[in-house]
Amino acid sequence: MSTDRPSPDGGSAGWRWFFRIAYRFVRLADPLLRAVMGRVGAFLPRAVDLEVVGRRSGRSRRVLLTLLTVDDAWFVGHPNGPAPWTRNLEAAGLARLTLRDGRSVRVRPVRLWGGPERESVIRATWSQQPFPANVAYALARRHIRPVGVYYRLIELPDDAAADQPTAEGR
């Protein structure tokens, strides 16, 4: 039986499994990655900390992501379909990014459903993700195109909305 057979949503069962295992490892390694990020910035040059309110708990949730840039716009995404942080981001409608320079900015996500902008973001993952993720993303592109979830992030002034993307704001 081939592990590359299509799943009901058009993705590959093999790649779905691969990304599930890979992202579980990343979640477990999160504290180490955060420590390394502070000391050896070149190791994760595009890493940002996304903080968003949990859709069920109402508590602030944080996740390390790669901030992709295409035509001076910011993008984040997940190659394996909706993930807890993508669901929280959509439910909250606001988030806070802590950038590499220590700046904290409020952002509003705009989901990319299809078209050339989404395709250019998917292609950007091959060159902007750190190794070995960039290789996996390039090899899995036929899986990512139908199932990946991607967002353009619109930077907001700090006083643009009364809601804060933290638990204290709720």
Model pLDDT for residues 21-39, shown as the tens digit of each residue: 887 777 777 777 667 665 5
The residues near 96 (Cβ < 8 Å, ≥ 6 apart) are 50, 51, 52, 104, 105, 106, 107, 164, 165, 166
Residue ranges of the domains in the chain?
13-169
Write down the pTM of the prediction: 0.79
Model pLDDT for residues 83-118, shown as the tens digit of each residue: 999 999 999 999 999 988 889 999 999 999 999 999
- The pLDDT assigned to 169 comes to 43
CATH top-level class of 13-169 = mainly beta
